[in-house]
Copies of this chain bind each other. A is one copy, B any other.
Amino acid sequence: MPDYSLLEAFPTPTESPFVIEHVAEEFTSVCPKTGQPDFGTVTVIFEPRGGKVGGVCVELKSLKMYLQSFRNEGIYYEAVTNAIRDDLQKLMNAKWLLVRTDWKGRGGIRSVIRAGGGDVPGRWM
């Protein structure tokens, strides 16, 4: 099940403007209604606070392990997106953060969910 404790962070190595984007194309969870697996891509984009004011960045391997913890979880698209946004903001308190999930089609409809935290610039939304 989704496990916040898997997430680790490191201090932001600069005070200059800096945007990090991680794209995980191999995300999978389970539909709570049908029990069928869902597949999608999870994109996380954020601008960390500077290291001198305590800013941190999520560590890449820990993010991978955290995302894998959804593998056998029964959870809806919206809840996945909100959970990742909430957990990462709890970890990093970034200047802004955007989580975008792109789901493979089901029944001829494919969905994209975007959930922001902080003041996400319009061009990223």
Q: Is A1's beta carbon under 8 Å from chain B?
A: no
Taking a contact as CB atoms under 8 Å apart, the answer to whether A117 and B78 are in contact is no
A60 contact from B37, B57, B111, B112, Cβ within 8 A: B111
How many of these chains are in the complex?
10
- B14 near A115 with CB under 8 A, answer yes
| A16-B116 in contact (CB<8A) | yes
- State whether the Cβ of A95 lies closer than 8 Å to any Cβ in chain B: no
- Tell yes or no: A79 within 8 A of B by CB: yes
Tell me if A113 is interfacial: C-beta within 8 Å of chain B.
yes
Q: How far is the CB of A33 from chain B (nearest CB, A)?
A: 8
Kindly report which residue of chain B lies nearest to residue A121, judged by CB atoms: B122
Interface residues of A (CB under 8 A from B): 13-14, 16-26, 28, 36-37, 39, 57, 60-61, 63-64, 68, 71-72, 78-79, 81-82, 85, 104-117, 120-123, 125
- What would be 20 A-B contacts, judged by CB atoms less than 8 Å apart? A16-B82, A16-B85, A16-B115, A17-B115, A17-B120, A18-B114, A20-B111, A20-B113, A21-B114, A23-B109, A23-B111, A25-B109, A26-B28, A26-B108, A28-B37, A36-B107, A37-B71, A60-B106, A122-B123, A123-B125
